[in-house]
């Protein structure tokens, strides 16, 4: 992803990393930053997901370098937008082939679950589609 497309990256050094602190419009608030078009989270960064595909078009590639963390994430917390939608089975199999599980839920629930799981210092990543 190119830095000239308005991508915001937020790095946090505490144990929990970036935490969703609220919702704004269809987007997410992480501290003072708003991510209106979707959000990718790792234990150390929050990244705007401006080119997020629909849940049916998700691919491992559409998540960029989200899985390139050490240690490897236990699972992907997938926020599917305003309501729960199951991702394509091919996407789930591709992520599972990397040794990473997939937990899908609506994006609000996924954002709340992210905070709880990161407070437990679980090694996870999240991809949250807009509300």
- pLDDT in 10s for each residue of the chain, 131 residues: 333 344 444 444 455 789 999 999 999 999 999 999 999 999 999 999 989 999 999 999 999 999 999 999 999 999 999 999 999 999 999 999 999 999 999 999 999 999 999 999 999 999 999 99
Tokens for 39, please give them.
């959000």
- The structure's pTM equals 0.88
CA dihedral 47, 48, 54, 57 (to 10 degrees): -50
Taking the domain 3-128, which CATH number applies? 3.40.1230.10
């Amino acid at each position: 992803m190119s830095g000239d497309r308005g991508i915001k990256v937020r790095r946090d050094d505490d144990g929990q990393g970036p935490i969703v602190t609220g919702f704004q419009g269809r987007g997410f608030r992480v501290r003072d930053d708003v991510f209106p078009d979707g959000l990718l989270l790792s234990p150390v960064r929050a990244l705007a997901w401006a080119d997020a595909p629909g849940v049916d078009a998700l691919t491992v590639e559409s998540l960029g370098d989200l899985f390139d963390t050490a240690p490897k994430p236990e699972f992907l917390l997938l926020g599917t937008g305003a309501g729960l939608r199951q991702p394509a089975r091919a996407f789930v199999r591709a992520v599972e082939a990397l040794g990473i599980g997939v937990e899908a839920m609506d994006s609000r629930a996924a954002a709340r679950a992210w905070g709880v799981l990161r407070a437990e210092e679980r090694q996870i990543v999240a991809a949250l589609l807009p509300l």
